[in-house]
Structure 1
């Protein structure tokens, strides 16, 4: 069978003009070199290259506002930015978790941590964020829009209130809070940063998380468009990780599930340099691999991924 196929290929090659064969060879060589460059570039960015000097870039002693900053990826953002010397404003609805994060960060990193306990899915609370910042005279230099809601269910089975919860938390709160802080960020003498947490689900169809994936797609496009408006003064980064071990995913670290710290540390290496990152090196590698597959194959891989990590458990 293999011999027959080989002979058929030989006949096709013999009948193909040499110019066409040279063209195919050149195209193949270019594709291989391009792929190799992407692998080496990714290795350099995530393993060798160090992050920028953020205190000098955004202002030493300034503040980072982290929504959902008491747990999971948000807590990792709070800790890693505090480690760099930024004071932290945690916005979360969980007072106990926020207070614990505050005590841990202040003890370990010797920065000031403020807490604002409210639910960002309620649009009326956005104005309270602005009042708190003004009353406490906080120089916010970094905004991390991390707070998010997730719900797995077929769209036909989702109650309207669950759909609105996803949209209000993932889309409306992020948009309105960004709009609220933009004037102050643009007025600062030094640069500022806006970091928006999206998801790998924004890149591909994600069955049973349809509304969630759609909200994360909004975040990607919003971030890319906003960057073109404000890039002279503000760095914008959108982070689109795969599985991260958090209270929301309820998955242990292993395989494609990474620690929140890995996601944040990887993302920080891209802040001020690129518009989007998958975060952890593992997820960046997976994103590079997935770029080779067709839409149909990616859909099948997504289905297997969901069943492996969520649906069957």
Structure 2
């Protein structure tokens, strides 16, 4: 296991055999879950997040438990150059990515007029710009992996409709879901599996990072439920957009049929609560 920063030009990250899996947001929550599942299946992993100490601990755990190579890359995804810098770094080390899991993200909550502009800029950078540019950077190597290649974009049930009081987060995730579905169509015939994964509220550090319970709309699921749904969808193929949980799927379907004013009213009621 090697730890590095994308600003560090030192060489030495171990080469790996594709399909290596790159996971953003791997220091906790769903991202950590994906890294662990893939390592358990025998994949080498590239772990990307800001918190190198957590990544180092996870990398050591995965290598010891599963005899894989876990490469740690410390990166701040609010930096618009991060995707290219990560890509160049892995190129220098001879690491070819065959599976990309864009999981890093965070949300802000509250009336839009009261939101901190700098925080919103970071949210858009991490939730929209980073997965877009990372996908563009690594898509050729995913295509080269053929049927072993996969792109997983972790979106949200919030992507299915506008949601007052978490307006920017819902808009960011709507972008992610739309982009993923379009890429799925463009890659038809390549063998690459493409999935926009839309979990509802999940038992992670997300709510603590957001500083709000406004995102806790409905039942809070588990990380294992999210991962089970993702891997089942990848094996099954078909629809590129998968919503986790029967109740969430019903809600997403209803949002498509209901008048926009009604969905906005329901969303506003659901997310208006004491902090």
* TM-score of the two chains, using structure 2 as the length reference: 0.82
Q: Tell me which residue corresponds to 2:14.
A: none
Unpaired segments of 5 or more residues in structure 2?
1-16
Whether the aligned pair in 1 keeps the contact of 2:26 and 2:103 (CA below 8 Å) is: yes
Which of 141, 160, 168 is the aligned partner of 2:125? 168
Q: Distance in 1 between matches of 2:165 and 2:47?
A: 31
Secondary structure of 2:227's match? helix
Q: Displacement, 1:106?
A: 2.1
Q: Tell me which residue corresponds to 1:239.
A: 197
2:239 maps to 1:266: no
* TM-score of the two chains, using structure 1 as the length reference: 0.72
Q: Write the deviation string for residues 9-57 of structure 1: whole angstroms up to 9, x where unpaired.
A: xxxxxxxxxxxxxxxxxxxxxxxxxxxxxxxxxxxxxxxxxxxxxxxxx
Which structure: larger Rg? 1
Secondary structure of 2:76's match? coil
Q: Tell me which residue corresponds to 2:243.
A: 278
Which of 303, 306, 310 is the aligned partner of 2:268? 303
Secondary structure of 1:237's match? strand
Q: Displacement, 1:184?
A: 1.9
Q: Write the deviation string for residues 108-165 of structure 1: whole angstroms up to 9, x where unpaired.
A: 3332211100101101222221122212222311101111121112221223212211
Q: Tell me which residue corresponds to 2:154.
A: 197
Alignment of 1:22-33 (within 5 A): none
- Structure that is richer in helix per residue: 1
Q: Distance in 1 between matches of 2:244 and 2:33?
A: 12
Q: Tell me which residue corresponds to 2:71.
A: 114
Q: Distance in 2 between matches of 1:220 and 1:95?
A: 29
Secondary structure of 2:45's match? strand
Q: Distance in 2 between matches of 1:212 and 1:296?
A: 19
Which of 178, 184, 195 is the aligned partner of 1:221? 178
Moved more, 232-241 or 107-116: 107-116
Q: Displacement, 1:169?
A: 1.0
Whether the aligned pair in 1 keeps the contact of 2:201 and 2:218 (CA below 8 Å) is: no
Alignment length (residue pairs): 250
